[in-house]
Structures are given as C-alpha cells and as structure tokens.
Chain A
C-alpha cells in the first residue's frame, strides 16, 4: 500500500488516500463530499532511474551549501533544477558530475555509485559546465573532434554538427562565435560520446531571447531522442517549457518537487478567470455569495479562482443572470513564479545570491 496526498479541487482541502501501486480508485472528499479519481503510480525500480541522489550534503566552513537533499531522475526525463543564484544548484550538479566532492550523501548514476565507478560513468554522461567557454583558437569542428578523441565511444562529429545546426559555422574559430552559438557548441561538446545523460548547467544564462529559444529547441530535440537531461536554471519559463520534472531548490534545500502540473496544483493559485472593465459595483460580494472565490478586485477588474473548467461558465452565467456587463475575460494559469513566491515569500529574481 502507498499513500498519496491530494488537494480537493472543490474545497482545496488536502486529503490523504492509500492504494496499491498502479491502481486507480474513486474517492470522496471527507470535507465537501466532492468525488474524484486518484491514480497511484507504479513503483519504479532502480533500473528506471538515470540518477539517484540521497541525503546529499555539502558544507563549506559555516555555510551549508547543499543541505541533505534527495531526489531521483527517471530515464528519458528532462529534470529541471530550478532556483535562484546561490541556491546550491551548481554545487549539487557538480557533485553529481564528480567535479566537487560531497561532504555526505550518496549519488548513483545508472545504478552505479559514482564514488567507486566514476571512470566508468564518465562515458555515459555529457556535461556542459556553467559559463563554459571552450578553446578560443580552435574551430567548431576541431573542438568537437578534440573532445570526441577523449572518449572510447564516439558519436559521429559530422552528425552532431548537422543535428546542432552548426554546419555553416563548423570552420569558424570558437572565439568568433556569438553567445548563442557558443552555447550550442557547448551542448554539442556534451554529445560527442553519445551519452545517456546530459547535464546542462544554466545553458541559457546571458543569452538573448532568440538565442535562448534556439537552445531550448536543441534541448527539446535531445529529449525526443530519449536522452535524460539534467537542467539547472534560474529561469522559470525554461523549466516550464522543457521539464518533465521540476525540483525547486532554495538555500540548499529542495522545497518542492514534481511535474509542472503537480507543482502548480499544489502550490499555485490554480487557474484564475479575470473579468475586466465591469460596469457594475459589488460584483465581488455577489460572486462570493454564490460560493466563488474572488482573489482580487480593483479598478473594476475582478479575479476569480477556477478549480474546474465548468467554473468559467458558472461565473459568466451568474453575471449574465444579474445583467452585469463587462469588457473582456481572460484565463491565466498560475506559474512557477507564483509557486516560488508561495513557498519562499520572495520572487525568484529577487532572491539575492
């Protein structure tokens, strides 16, 4: 039997249910009586995980940079490690890459303990370090050939160049490339050994929005090929756009973890219906009387929480019933920024490193 906590979509009460792995059962909310279905995930085995981290800790003097964190990454997933600068993202990923030595904890890559098997593991991973800058006076192709020569298992360099859309730049010196191209070369370098797992440490930091999109497309392409990707980022959009699974790290601790939907449902405000330019006053009271949750009201605009899609029609019908006219409507889903704000009390971009 496994236990699962579920938030009731109607009354937002968090309720605990238990069931067998793989089972899907119908449940009733003990508070409001609403009915719904709960699925219990199949138990995953060791072999399903690309990376397993348990009780990982890194201490520098008085500073606990990474504080007893544990997580697992399923094969083929894009795992986003999201957090502000200085949260411990790079320290964690560099411990997994064996660049830093953990103070405590255990790391397994493809079921192999990296403390004893890292030389072996090196062939299964491809790494783009943070702020990576390759040899300035080598061309793109020479760079890839150089790194490829370090491995026993080598991917075809020309194919990587093709796949990364670097063909037109392959004979350019690295130092003459734009920031976006440099990052693409960085990702390409991480692929020279055709790795199972790819680590990308802040691959889009410092890039303009267009270059960022290009790198995202590259990452999405890698996911399609079935690669497991460990992505660290402080951009929520990046995690939202790319990740199957997100862990939010703050001050060295993982404060939330799950799929985007799970995180939004658990910590976000859900979906919000914005009704703008209302022609009538006291709409808030009216809607509240009818059992809707109004999250804000200002300057004739009103925001109502939508927990299931029928809510939208119900709200609009209520307005129509009372002949209340309005300018426009808009439905917004909450985002990770909100989740982060909810969890830490501060905005992601505002947290000092």
Chain B
C-alpha cells in the first residue's frame, strides 16, 4: 500500500471537517475490509491522500430499541447484529442478512454503515492496477457488455451502455424491505432512496457526509432474507432477496420485496409486491410473484441463469414470511 495521511476523528464534526479539508482526496475508514482491498490493488480512480478513521467517534456503536424503533449505530459490527436477540426476534431479515455476509472475521470487522456504503465487486472494475479503464474510472466503456458478464445486471445498466455492475450488499435489501431510514451527519434518507444508479458512486452521500445511524420501525409483518451464493461462506451473493409481508385474515395486505446483486442498486420488486396483494401466502402465489418480479429482466449473454435464481429467491423470501 502507498502511504497516506491518517486522521483519528474524535467527533463527528472533526471527521466532517477533515473530509471537507481533503474533498474528494479523502476516504472514510471504519471496518476497512472493502477500502483496504481497493487501496492494495490500487483500483481507485484516485488513491486517497488521507483516511479519516471514524471508529474513534464515540456513540456510533450501539443497538437500541425504544418507542417501537430500532436504532443501530453505523459502527455496529455485522456479527453483533447477527447475534443480537432483539434483531433475530423482531427483524429476522436483517439478522439473517448480517449472518450470511462474508466470513466470521469479516463480520467481526465490517460495520453495517460500511456494508451499505461498499463499492461494487465487478471484476473489470476490481482488476488490479486499473487494467480496465472502465466507466467508473473515467474510461469510455463498460467491459462487461462485451466481456464475461455472468455476475452482472439482469435489469439493464446505469444507463443504456452504462455501468452493468451489481450492488453486492446483503444487508441493503433487508433494510429496504424493513423500510429503514439511514441517518447521516446532515440528513435522514429512506433506505430505498439511499442507493443510486450512477457510474461515480453507489450511494447518494456527499463527499463530506457520514452515515451515523440506521433506524428501523417495528415491522408490521414478518420478514425474511434468502441468499444464493456459490459457497455458503465468504461469497458475495449471486442473487439475494429480502421480503417483509403483512398478513391480515390470511390475505397479504402489504409487501415490501427487494432483490440485490441483480442491478446497479438494490432492486425493489414492486411487480412482485403488487402480485401478492390480496392473496394468501402459498407456493403458487409466491411462484407467480417471483415470475412477476423478473418479468422486466433483460439479461446479458452470460447471465440469463440469474433470472431463474432471482425468481426463486423472491418465491422463497415470500414463503419465508409465512
């Protein structure tokens, strides 16, 4: 790794000030499991001049439940979320998503804030020493369009001929399904508006904005998370899906279903949600909702298999809420 300046921020203000001083030349470090990998491979368009360590800010590592809202500090480790009894009980989609993320060690290091702010894993983008000058690096093209796109978007690019990389987070779809709100150093953003389809960034955060807390209202219904990956441990998802379904008199009154790793940002499957409304949770209805979710899919030459998996993930997530 090339050297850089390192700043231990003792408060949120201090961190924001440091970020403002360096502008785009600084990066925030919390768990560091995503950032340090990128720095070692030197794949960032610009190598950061400074890292601002936010682990030293007190009060951002907590899990609290009060007045029907669960607050999770941005620095809370994924492992702590995965084993918290309150989350396993009341917010199972999130607990399961955290538990299925990466490996034990990475969950002990990685934070929930970092998990939703993580960068894409496209193998052209991540190739060492910027071998592929892709759109995200100011190059002229997305190499996945004509290249090996078996792990890329099945719902189109950021724009036509844009970036086709998928968002890799496991916790992001769970937070969207649970209708979470992301609090940052300056505003509150609904989880589904937090991610953005752009070739420059994966979130709507400004350069000097820091995620501080995640707030989840007590779910009205039950929630579930399912993930398909090549191996049980460590792997990023091929497709994952989180669902929250509210049932009254054996009929679904409301549903929030979100797929991830299928599009440039987490993909809210509104077609599947509409398909479930007024129906009972059973095999046939869940199957139909899965089919509805992928009805708009436009797979690339090597990833048509993901359409079938996405369909099944939606079905299993819905059945998991029964």
- Tell me whether A and B are bound partners: no
